[in-house]
């Protein structure tokens, strides 16, 4: 398990990461969110032991990251780069050797990975002959070679076509099933909603949101329910229901904003009493993208994150 | 600093192989000596042939004699020159050149003959020549590097002035009082040894060659490092690498791998030079003491470490190769600065300038090697020890500072730090 405890990093006296704590479990896909300049890259660089924290600890299975533990971490940075004149297989084998693999073992692993990302035909070609998307897949292989226990992917979907996005998603599921700890940093909120188990959002270096993705979306949603009607003509009948402040169409559904104190079961009963035929009835959840914007625009959670920074992480969670 | 030598050697191997496999490496390996041979061949060949070329074209001399002293002078001048000016060439035959002498009544007639191509040169001897020794020469062109024609005219004048007053042998000695002199000078062991052109040439070439090889080795290794770091930074791959290795391991691997590539290159050049050096060494034996060899190895090690560290720091803090080169050129220049004043150093190897430069770390390696291999110099052991200690200290400090700059600067793109920022990196990196 990757554990980050009270980690702080300062530049010129300014804390770009301020007492951040979280953990990522084996077999989990964990999202690291935040607006540009929030401190995500600095945090990732500390996890990968490229930067040293000014305070706090970063451990992998109880041991400090870095040193011999470097072989347990694979990283796809946002800044993409490859040795352009080297052959694809040689590039990967080199990274395999840096992870402690023997020559033959590294080459075999490189070949297997290239086959998995459907680049086996390009194995002997120089990197510069590959398209941007292909090069990105090679970099993904660089991060995965040696089967690291922690895989950190920074914007892995950018530049990939839909077919390759799907391929990457499959690979992530495979890795998760194999017990790999996956830390995913992306601005594609739909991917986080689809793939990630839990998420941490940081803003101005502070933790602002931390928890399961579903929980976060529910926690910050309006006091509302979303219903799908069997008969679209019933829409106007939603107005005036006791306890419903407002009814508005929402992408084919209806969002009913509730009066304070109104319970979901009370509204459901009222709807049924009016003989409104329902196809579905659910608690309204906030799209992660809206939550993200709310955090950045309105500073949601920022004060909370700052004041709670003193408290143990579990308390911040709740 | 806890290094994984397995990772260091993996990096070193890649750096070495990727460098020596480049076409540019082969081009440098073969092109540089070819360029030197070409330039030196033209330079030495043309200067060696200059006297012959001058004499070949000096077939006729027009004389306008207003002094009346040379009426009885010979009408043909015979000049003998060595057919090959190479000082290492043995038993070179003499070659004879003949110059026809024609007297003209006035300058106008002689000038017309010169302009018409009938005469190679005109010499005008004024009436007061005997008192003043002044005369004028006219020629269509003159050689920058040879005065063979002037010597020929001088001999002809002397012979004519002495004509009939001395016996032939005495006259010949007056004209050429030193046919061959041998100079004996003290060597490093305090014994007098004969000197000649060959020894003089070697006394220059041996220190020059040694210092040049050392300088090249240091500079080539440093340049590879600069190129390696700058291009790696430009290619944005550093972050991926640094996830797998520490900055110190990366630096150590590069130092070893690229230094080895530089050594291979210089080793190849030495191997190419062996047949030529071997031939010269047979003609004039050159002995190098083990102290010089050991010192050369140490100076290489510390000199390389010093310059390679500097280049790493520069590569780490700049944004691209072009910018890195602009900074690096000044430091490379320091390494070769002693060659600009090599004559001053070799003519006075124990002088203040030579001693100072051999103690100053950036110029220590090349200058001290020049001093140690100069035949007339005995460098005190304490100076060698102090020079090496200063260079070693400077190398280690530079390595530490560069590693800090490298660690901080390698992930910064698009901005070159100013001096206060660099100093802050060095303090806190």
Q: Domain boundaries in chain B?
A: 5-43+194-428, 58-181
Range from A165-179, B47-61, B82-96, B413-427 that averages highest in pLDDT: A165-179
Query: Residue A28 contacts by C-beta under 8 Å, 6 or more apart in sequence?
Result: A176, A181, A182, A197, A198
Question: Please, what is the Cα angle at B24 between B19 and B28, to 5 degrees?
Answer: 100
Average confidence (pLDDT) over B35-47: 74
Phi, then psi, of A279 in degrees rounded to 5: -90, -40
Tell me whether residues A80 and B236 touch, CB distance under 8 A.
Answer: yes
Q: Could you tell me how far CA B260 lies from the centroid of its own chain?
A: 25
Min Cα–Cα distance to chain B from A84, Å: 8
What tens digit of pLDDT does each residue of A132-146 get?
Answer: 899 999 999 999 999
Least confident span in A284-288, B164-168, B319-323: B319-323
pLDDT at position B136 is 93
CB-CB neighbours of B65 under 10 Å: 20
Q: Tell me how far apart the alpha carbons of residues A148 and A60 are, in angstroms, rounded to a whole number.
A: 12
Handedness of CA B387, B390, B395, B398 (dihedral sign): negative
pLDDT at position A146 is 92
Q: Tell me how far apart the alpha carbons of residues A173 and A203 are, in angstroms, rounded to a whole number.
A: 28
pLDDT at position B114 is 93
Tell me whether residues B243 and A94 touch, CB distance under 8 A.
Answer: no
Q: Which domains are seen in chain A, by residue range?
A: 2-217 (3.40.50.300), 222-283 (3.30.70.100)
Chain A residues within an 8 Å CB radius of B243: 48-50, 70, 73-75, 77, 143, 152
Beta strands, E only, B196-350: none
Banded pLDDT at B288 (limits 50, 70, 90): low
pLDDT at B409 over 80: no
What tens digit of pLDDT does each residue of B235-286 get?
Answer: 778 888 988 998 888 888 988 898 888 888 888 888 887 777 666 666 666 6
pLDDT at position A314 is 34
Question: Is the CB of A159 inside 8 Å of chain B's CB atoms?
Answer: no
What tens digit of pLDDT does each residue of B290-302 get?
Answer: 787 788 888 888 8
pLDDT at B99 over 80: yes
- The whole model's pTM is what? 0.73
Q: What is the chain B residue with the closest CA to A69?
A: B244
Residues 78-97 of A with CB under 8 A from B: 79-84, 86, 94-95, 97
This model of the complex carries an ipTM of 0.80
Q: At what angle do helices B247-283 and B197-234 cross, to 10 degrees?
A: 160
Number of H helices, E strands in chain B: 16, 7
pLDDT at position B415 is 67
pLDDT at B360 over 90: yes
How high does pLDDT run on average in chain A?
86
Tell me whether residues A50 and B242 touch, CB distance under 8 A.
Answer: yes
pLDDT at A56 over 60: yes
Tell me whether residues B244 and A98 touch, CB distance under 8 A.
Answer: yes
Average confidence (pLDDT) over B361-367: 90
Nearest partner of A47 among A186, A156, A176, A153, judged by Cα: A153
pLDDT at position A313 is 34
pLDDT at B400 over 90: no
Banded pLDDT at B225 (limits 50, 70, 90): confident
Min Cα–Cα distance to chain A from B315, Å: 17
Asked if residues B321 and B231 have their Cβ atoms less than 8 Å apart, the reply is yes
Q: What is the 3-state secondary structure (H, E, C) of chain A?
A: CEEEEEEEEEECCEEEEEEEEEEECCCCEEEEECCCCCCHHHHHHHHCCCCCCCEEEEEECCEECCHHHHHHEEEECCCCCCCCCCEHHHHHHHHHHHCCCCHHHHHHHHHHHHHHCCCHHHCCCEHHHCCHHHHHHHHHHHHHCCCCCEEEEECCCCCCCHHHHHHHHHHHHHHHHCCCEEEEECCCHHHHHHHCCEEEEEECCEEEEEEEHHHHHHHCCCCEEEEEECCHHHHHHHCCCCCEEEEEEECCEEEEEECCCCCHHHHHHHHHHCCCCEEEEEECCCCHHHHHHHHHHHCCCHHHHHHHCCCCHHHHHC
pLDDT at position B347 is 83
CATH topology of domain B58-181: D-Maltodextrin-Binding Protein; domain 2 (3.40.190)
Banded pLDDT at B376 (limits 50, 70, 90): low
**Nearest CB neighbour to A67, from listed B2, B18, B411:** B2
**Nearest CB neighbour to A81, from listed B2, B14, B236:** B236
The SS3 assignment for B64 reads strand
**Nearest CB neighbour to B244, from listed A45, A82, A99:** A99
Banded pLDDT at A185 (limits 50, 70, 90): very high
Q: Tell me how far apart the alpha carbons of residues A98 and A105 are, in angstroms, rounded to a whole number.
A: 12
What share of chain A has pLDDT > 90, as a percent?
49
**Nearest CB neighbour to A70, from listed B10, B239, B244:** B244
Asked if residues A64 and A47 have their Cβ atoms less than 8 Å apart, the reply is no
How high does pLDDT run on average in chain B?
83
pLDDT at position A83 is 87
């Amino acid at each position: 398990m990757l554990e980050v405890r009270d980690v702080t990093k300062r530049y010129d006296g300014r804390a770009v990461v301020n007492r951040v704590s979280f953990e990522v479990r084996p077999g989990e896909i964990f999202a690291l969110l935040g607006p540009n300049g929030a401190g995500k890259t600095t945090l990732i660089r500390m996890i990968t032991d490229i930067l040293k924290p000014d305070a706090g600890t970063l451990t992998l299975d109880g041991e400090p990251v870095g040193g011999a533990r470097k072989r347990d971490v694979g990283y796809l940075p946002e800044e993409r780069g490859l040795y352009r004149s080297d052959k694809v297989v040689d590039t990967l084998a080199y990274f395999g050797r840096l992870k402690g693999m023997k020559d033959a073992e590294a080459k075999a692993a490189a070949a297997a990975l290239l086959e998995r990302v459907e680049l086996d035909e390009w194995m002997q070609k120089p990197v510069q002959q590959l398209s941007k998307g292909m090069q990105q897949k090679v970099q993904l292989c660089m991060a995965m070679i040696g089967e690291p226990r922690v895989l950190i992917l920074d914007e892995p979907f950018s530049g990939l076509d839909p077919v390759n996005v799907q391929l990457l998603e499959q690979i992530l599921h495979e890795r998760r099933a194999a017990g790999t700890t996956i830390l995913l940093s992306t601005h594609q909120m739909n991917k986080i909603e689809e793939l990630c188990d839990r998420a941490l959002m940081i803003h101005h270096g502070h933790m602002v949101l931390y928890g399961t993705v579903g929980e976060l979306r529910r926690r910050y949603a309006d006091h509302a329910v979303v219903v799908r009607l069997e008969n679209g003509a019933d829409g106007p009948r939603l107005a005036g229901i006791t306890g419903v402040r407002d009814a508005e169409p929402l992408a084919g559904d209806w969002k009913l904003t509730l009066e304070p104190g109104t319970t979901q079961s009370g509204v459901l009963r009222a709807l049924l009493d009016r003989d409104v035929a329902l196809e579905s009835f659910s608690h309204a959840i906030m799209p992660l993208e809206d939550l993200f914007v709310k955090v950045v625009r309105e500073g949601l959670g920022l004060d909370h994150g700052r004041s709670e920074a003193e408290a143990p992480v579990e308390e911040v969670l709740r | 600093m806890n290094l994984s030598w397995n990772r260091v050697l993996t990096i070193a191997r890649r750096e070495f192989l990727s460098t020596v496999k480049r076409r540019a490496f082969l081009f440098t390996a073969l092109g540089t000596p070819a360029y030197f041979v070409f330039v030196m061949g033209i330079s030495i060949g043309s200067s060696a042939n200059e006297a012959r070329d001058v004499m070949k074209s000096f077939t006729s001399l027009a004389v306008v004699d207003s002094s009346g002293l040379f009426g009885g002078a010979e009408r043909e001048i015979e000049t003998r020159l060595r057919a090959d000016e190479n000082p290492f060439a043995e038993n070179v035959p003499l070659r004879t050149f003949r110059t026809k002498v024609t007297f003209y009544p006035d300058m106008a007639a002689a000038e017309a003959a010169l302009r018409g191509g009938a005469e190679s040169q005109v010499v005008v001897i004024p009436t007061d020549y005997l008192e003043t020794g002044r005369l004028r020469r006219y020629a269509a062109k003159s050689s920058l590097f040879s005065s063979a024609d002037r010597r020929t005219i001088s001999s002809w004048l002397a012979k004519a002035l002495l004509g009939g007053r001395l016996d032939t042998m005495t006259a010949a000695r007056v004209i050429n009082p030193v046919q061959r002199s041998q100079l004996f000078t003290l060597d490093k062991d305090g014994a007098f040894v004969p000197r000649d052109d060959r020894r003089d040439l070697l006394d220059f070439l041996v220190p020059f060659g040694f210092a040049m090889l050392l300088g090249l080795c240091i500079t080539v290794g440093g340049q590879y490092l600069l190129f390696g770091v700058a291009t790696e930074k430009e290619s944005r791959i550093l972050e991926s690498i640094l996830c797998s290795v520490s900055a110190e391991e990366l630096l150590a691997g590069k130092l070893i791998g690229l230094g080895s590539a530089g050594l291979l290159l210089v080793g190849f050049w030495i191997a190419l030079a062996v047949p030529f050096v071997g031939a010269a060494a047979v003609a004039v034996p050159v002995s190098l003491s083990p102290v010089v060899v050991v010192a050369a190895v140490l100076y290489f090690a510390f000199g390389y470490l010093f310059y390679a560290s500097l280049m790493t720091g520069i590569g780490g803090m700049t944004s691209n190769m072009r910018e890195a080169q602009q900074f690096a050129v000044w430091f490379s220049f320091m390494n070769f600065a002693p060659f600009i004043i090599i004559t001053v150093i070799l003519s006075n190897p124990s002088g203040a300038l030579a001693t100072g430069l051999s103690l100053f770390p950036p110029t220590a390696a090349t200058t001290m090697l020049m001093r140690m291999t100069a035949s007339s110099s005995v460098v005190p052991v304490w100076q060698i020890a102090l020079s090496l200690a200063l260079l070693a200290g400077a190398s280690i400090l530079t390595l530490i500072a560069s590693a800090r700059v490298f660690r901080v600067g390698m992930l910064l793109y698009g901005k070159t730090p100013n001096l206060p920022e660099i100093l802050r990196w060095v303090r806190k990196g």
